[in-house]
Amino acid sequence: MSTEPEARGLDAINPVMRQAWYIVATSGEVRGKPLPRRIHDKPLVVWRDGEGKARVFLDRCPHRNVPLSEGAVDGGGLRCGYHGWRFDGTGACVEIPALEGTPDAPARRATALPVVEQQGFVWVWTAPEVEPTCQPFRFACADDPRYTVVRKALRARGSLHATIENALDVPHTAFLHGGLFRRSDTPRKPIRCVIQRWHDRAECHFHGESAPTGLAARLLAPGGGELTHVDRFWLPSITEVEYSMGDDTHLVLNGACTPVTPWETIVFAVVSIRSPMPGWMVRPVVEPIALRIFDQDAVILAQQTDLLHTFGEARFASTEIDVLGAHILRMMRRVERGEHAEPSDQPETEKEVTMWL
Amino acid sequence: MSTEPEARGLDAINPVMRQAWYIVATSGEVRGKPLPRRIHDKPLVVWRDGEGKARVFLDRCPHRNVPLSEGAVDGGGLRCGYHGWRFDGTGACVEIPALEGTPDAPARRATALPVVEQQGFVWVWTAPEVEPTCQPFRFACADDPRYTVVRKALRARGSLHATIENALDVPHTAFLHGGLFRRSDTPRKPIRCVIQRWHDRAECHFHGESAPTGLAARLLAPGGGELTHVDRFWLPSITEVEYSMGDDTHLVLNGACTPVTPWETIVFAVVSIRSPMPGWMVRPVVEPIALRIFDQDAVILAQQTDLLHTFGEARFASTEIDVLGAHILRMMRRVERGEHAEPSDQPETEKEVTMWL
Amino acid sequence: MSTEPEARGLDAINPVMRQAWYIVATSGEVRGKPLPRRIHDKPLVVWRDGEGKARVFLDRCPHRNVPLSEGAVDGGGLRCGYHGWRFDGTGACVEIPALEGTPDAPARRATALPVVEQQGFVWVWTAPEVEPTCQPFRFACADDPRYTVVRKALRARGSLHATIENALDVPHTAFLHGGLFRRSDTPRKPIRCVIQRWHDRAECHFHGESAPTGLAARLLAPGGGELTHVDRFWLPSITEVEYSMGDDTHLVLNGACTPVTPWETIVFAVVSIRSPMPGWMVRPVVEPIALRIFDQDAVILAQQTDLLHTFGEARFASTEIDVLGAHILRMMRRVERGEHAEPSDQPETEKEVTMWL
């Protein structure tokens, strides 16, 4: 008979970080028509004003509660399709057809959210009542001309935390993705893992890992050389897997995760690669493998989400090789409670474990 | 940053008036087979007894809770399909196969609701425990041989109040239905609107409105002449839009609205037209335009309903040209609370505003 | 105006008996792949270990809450598809890939439930924290070589109680199944019914019933003879309808009912027949009639379930010819409350009524 792990409510494993920047769309998606999106289950409308500036409003006309995304961009403003109310980029009401007198009034404004557009992404700050306290994340190598950059928006039916833990979880790769980049049938050897957590990030360095032996790896890093591997998480929702092989191969896989609903996450993946392989070959080699891996993860995340809802509770039994998941949950819950740790260069915790890979 | 309109719960904008007459079916729909219907989300069965009288019961056999509408009309009664219990038009149980002794007993009766059949409609009083306090609405011109009468049952995924407000809302017509009967691209002029509310009805007279210029209008009223326009609401759920053009054209559009569920409404539309145009031409001219207008309204109402549920709250910012909606909501809430204003010929409120059409 | 039967909550008519044996699968269904099942809305996984023993676990990996039924039977154990954790037949964790040190720990065990496999069925005890207090039901004639045995798993969208009451309800058969085995158009005659209830079972003997006259009956019992008929219920969820015609025809219809969800029941039907008719003819004669009857019952049960949910309450008006349903509900509620009546050979209640069939 089992002694089951302690039961926790689903909210306890799914913190909500409302005061945060998330990617709401790629720059290319925001064109002539207003774009309906959702973050934290709140409908948003993304559009460009007369000066080409990306704008994000709550997707609700203050007059009669119909979605502004069903209206149209018109005269540099956003116009509702029911009574034709028109709003400028700040949310001010600038036209009410048939009304005598001035259209704008506090209660007649659309709710605008802070927006930053950079590196091909539109980021939104999801707490309209609070000024942003930081800047959105920048992808370090994405603007560097030496790198080939592949972008992809991927949808997972998993919570923000489960999706992030999965993206940074090493033990499942040899099993679930067996054959794709780690093998489950070759002899394993001990890897030393150094885990550190700071106030706003956590990372794990893997020491002693063998270079992958698959075709893709040999194409990307023909010269071989020593492998270094670091996994990183930044609050609120950024993952990074970094590999270096020798001097001339560098691979950075970032995922900027957006909580669409409590149980659905979009991963805006940005893969930056510097390699002796010619740039035009990188994408066709990397993309099919990455998508296959992501598909397998998406299936597992959906199974986990369904099961958690069927049971109505979570029972997780972690081991020491679940290196980052528990740290990330702790950091996310701190943000949910509005606690802000003192910034410091010193890690809050540091630990070393052995993983057989 | 917006100052959003005050948040209200969805119940506050969706009053339930249980002690009321609603149309449950057209007379023609009630034939040999029992007809399943729903009002206020309660299942009803409509059928005709041995004398041809329309009957409405709660659609539940008192024995084992299966729907009587899945049974059959048999021997002037309604018979359940599970054990064959049979009920007469009053709901009394008149047969229980296999039972020795008398079938009827208080707990074995079907729940019958008061019914009135008139002008081709079956009306039901939805509070079986209370005697009706009034008579169902009569459509004033529908029996007058000088009028061509078009009837249509239309379904909207909107609350009773939202559907009624939409039917009597003028400003959206120029925008949402632009081109169909009001134009949004011609110069507007000021219209004087006189709004009055009595204990059981509200109406708005529009003064100075130009006659419509479309083809349909010219066919219906070839002689032109002065336009008069009045919009009316009667408790609990009747709308009327009345146009007169000159002496010989008179158009009355009634909607008797039935709340099927809290967020789904059937509009039994009765359009009565007296015009120099020959009667056989009226329907083919009027019906396609009316259906197109209704389709556009149904799309907006569904968008509004979805958005209200996504946000879980309502925030409405009204202006002075939303002339009847707020009055209607107030009257409906009064009925919901069981308050009955003193009947009087004097209006409770009267107001004048300008609308640019 | 009706005096409706007393309203009861849906829970009151749908007791949950967790400490009980239910059939979770037929023996033949449990082969190489883990089988996902559900009882009382709890996901279970059924599989065979290295010795061929049937095993049932909660269908949840204790590590990261993904369903074990999506994994694989491997090396005599059950392996999760996410990180490759492997469990033996008792639920102990025997392998965690990549982990240094021993895999088993109390919190890392899968939750195993007691299992008995007999007569071609896998039974599970659904309260893992309590030792079974009894043995699963045995079908009395199913191992007897003189009997032809037909088995069938049938799914009804009805509660456990409603499905069982339906299976043992006589008055509806003449009406709903009219023509299939009882006729509704022949003269009825009074049948004496003796109803008895013990602590763990209830039964009704029918005296004076005419032998059925349909083709199937004449094939099964060509010699005619006196008919005896007894309906039985055993806690928690076994039904039996037993007919004898003369000396050489004996028909026992058992239903072992499994509550998949509160409103969905699987009936594992076991029909045992001894007849002068050759064995190879029995199945083609009996099966189509039985399936047609079950289909009609399944439709009614689904209608009843939908209606109960629409109204959100139950109002049942029973009569004296509803002979077993109320007794069964009372017995099930006693088990739900954890009350155990003293075993005794004397019935707790005994009653006689007349039914006209």
Quick one: pLDDT at residue A85? 97
For A2, the closest of C83, C99, C111 (CB atoms) is C111
**Is the confidence at residue A1, as pLDDT, over 50?**
no
Distance, CA of B23 to CA of A40 (rounded, Å): 42
Between B and C, how many CB-CB pairs are < 8 A?
A: 104
Spatial separation of the C-alpha atoms in residues B188 and B321, rounded to whole Å: 15
Chain A residues with CB under 8 Å of B316 CB are 62-65
Q: Does A316 touch chain C if contact means CB atoms closer than 8 Å?
A: yes
> Is A132 part of the contact surface with chain B (CB cutoff 8 Å)?
no
- For the stretch A51-79, pLDDT in tens is 999 999 999 999 999 999 999 999 999 99
What gap in Å lies between CA A68 and CA A61, rounded to an integer?
A: 6
Nearest Cα to A321, choosing from C67, C110, C64?
C64
Say whether residue B108 is in contact with chain C using an 8 A CB cutoff. Answer: yes
C109 chain-A contacts, CB cut-off 8 A? 2-4
Q: Does A309 touch chain C (CB under 8 A)?
A: no
| Residue written as token pair 């919901």 | B336
Among chain C residues, CA nearest to A309: C65
Which residues, listed in sequence order, are joined to residue C236 by a DSSP beta bridge? none
CB < 8 Å to C98, chain A: 170-171, 174, 188, 321, 355-357
pLDDT tens for residues B95-137?
999 999 899 999 999 999 999 999 999 999 999 889 999 999 9
A347 in reach of chain B (CB within 8 A):
no
pLDDT tens digits for A106-155?
999 999 999 999 999 999 999 998 999 999 999 999 999 999 999 999 99
First to last CA, chain B: 31
Min distance B226 CA to chain A CA atoms (Å)? 22
Q: Which of B303, B310, B319 sits opposite A70 (nearest CB)?
A: B303
Chain A nearest CA to B312, separation (Å): 10
Q: What pLDDT score does A302 carry?
A: 98
Which residues from A are below 8 Å from C99, CB to CB? 171, 319-321, 355-356
Per-residue pLDDT tens digits for C43-99: 999 999 999 999 999 999 999 999 999 999 999 999 999 999 999 999 999 999 999
Q: Show the 3-state SS of A177-242.
A: CCCCCCCCCCCCCEEEEEEEECCCEEEEEEECCCCCCCHHHHHHCCCCCCEEEEEEEECCCEEEEE
- Measured between alpha carbons, how far is A44 from A78 in angstroms, rounded to an integer? 13
Are the beta carbons of C175 and B112 separated by less than 8 Å? Answer: no
Question: pLDDT value at position C185?
Answer: 62
On chain B, the residues whose CB falls within 8 A of the CB of C318 are: 63
Interface test with C, best of B42, B60, B64, B104 (most C CBs within 10 A): B64
| CB contact (8 A) between residue C190 and residue B100 | yes
CB under 8 Å to B189, separation ≥6 — which residues?
A: B208, B210, B356, B357
Nearest residue of B to residue A86, measured between CA atoms: B175
Residue to mutate among A55, A59, A61, A64, with most B CBs inside 10 A, is: A64
User: Cα–chain-centroid distance for residue C212?
Assistant: 26
Subunits adjacent to chain A (3 or more Cβ pairs under 8 Å): B, C
Averaged pLDDT for residues A88-97: 96
- Please list every residue in chain A whose beta carbon sits closer than 8 Å to the beta carbon of residue C110: 2
Residue A174: pLDDT band (50, 70, 90) is: confident
Q: Does B130 touch chain C (CB under 8 A)?
A: no
Per-residue pLDDT tens for C176-211?
Answer: 887 665 555 667 899 999 999 999 999 999 999 887
Query: Are the beta carbons of A97 and B174 separated by less than 8 Å?
Result: yes
| Interchain CB contact of A1 with C (< 8 Å) | yes
B7: distance to nearest CA of chain A, Å?
11
CA–CA dist B203, B184 (Å, integer): 25
Q: Is B170 an 8 Å CB contact of chain A?
A: yes
CB-count burial class (<10 Å; 0-12, 13-18, 19+) for C115 = buried
pLDDT, residue C1, reads 43
Nearest chain C residue to B38 by CA distance is C310
What confidence tens digit (pLDDT) does each residue in C283-338 have? 888 889 889 999 999 999 999 999 999 999 999 999 999 999 999 999 999 999 99
- Residues of chain A found within 8 Å of residue B176, distances taken between Cβ atoms: 81-84
Q: Per-residue DSSP letters for B65-98?
A: ---GGGSEEETTEEE-TTT--EE-TTS-EEE-TT
Which residue of chain B has the CA closest to A131? B1
All chains having 3 or more CB pairs closer than 8 angstroms to chain B: A, C
Mutate to test the interface with B, among C8, C165, C173, C307 (most CBs of B within 10 A): C307
What ipTM is given for this predicted complex?
0.93
pLDDT at A185: 62
**Do the Cβ atoms of C100 and A354 come within 8 Å?**
yes
Dump pLDDT digits (tens) for C137-176.
999 999 999 999 999 999 999 999 999 999 999 999 878 8
Confidence of residue B1 (pLDDT cuts 50, 70, 90): very low
C315 touches chain B (CB under 8 A): yes
Nearest chain C residue to A297 by CA: give it.
C82
Structure tokens at A280: 């035009």
Rounded to a whole number of angstroms, the distance from the CA of A176 to the nearest CA of chain C is 6
pTM: 0.93
Asked if B300 has any chain A CB less than 8 Å from its own CB, the reply is yes
CB A188 within 8 A of CB A210: no
- Chain A: closest CA distance from residue B303 (Å): 6
Chains meeting C at 3+ CB pairs closer than 8 A? A, B
Interchain CB contact of A331 with B (< 8 Å): no
Nearest CA-CA distance, residue C193 and chain B, Å: 12
Chain C CA closest to residue B129: C1
Distance to chain B for A110, nearest Cα, Å:
6
Mean pLDDT of chain A: 93
Please give the share of chain C, as a percent, with pLDDT higher than 90: 79
User: Is A1 within 8 Å of C96 when comparing Cβ atoms?
Assistant: no
- Counting residues of chain A whose pLDDT is more than 70, the rounded percentage is 97
Is there a contact between C176 and B82 if contact means CB atoms under 8 Å apart? Answer: yes
Burial of A95 (0-12, 13-18, 19+ CB in 10 A): middle
Q: Is the pLDDT of residue C119 over 70?
A: yes
Chain B hits for A105, CB-CB cut-off 8 Å, are 317
Say what the pLDDT of residue C182 is.
57
Among candidate residues C56, C52, C47, the one with its CA nearest the CA of residue C114: C56
Residue B133, sorted as left (phi over 0), alpha (psi -120 to 50) or beta, turns out to be: alpha
With 80 as the cut, is the pLDDT of residue C122 above it? yes
DSSP E strands: which ranges in B140-262?
Answer: 148-156, 190-197, 201-207, 227-234, 238-245, 249-261
pLDDT at A180 over 70: no
CA-only gyration radius of chain A, Å: 23
Beta-carbon contacts below 8 Å between A and C = 102
Q: What is the pLDDT of residue B37?
A: 98
Residues listed for chain A: 357
Q: How far is C233 from chain B (nearest CA, A)?
A: 20
What percentage of chain B reaches a pLDDT higher than 70? 97
- Arithmetic mean of pLDDT, B254-269: 98
Rounded Cα gap, residues A158 and A237, in angstroms? 14
Beta bridge partners of B353: B193
Evaluate whether C24 touches C123 at the Cβ level (below 8 Å): yes
User: Are the beta carbons of B319 and A96 separated by less than 8 Å?
Assistant: yes
Mean model confidence pLDDT for chain C: 93
Q: Does A66 touch chain B (CB under 8 A)?
A: yes
Cβ–Cβ contact B82 with C under 8 A: yes
B62/C315 CB distance under 8 A:
yes
Q: Which of A167-176, A233-242, B240-249 has the highest mean pLDDT?
A: A233-242
Tell me the shortest Cα–Cα distance from C174 to chain B, in angstroms.
Answer: 8
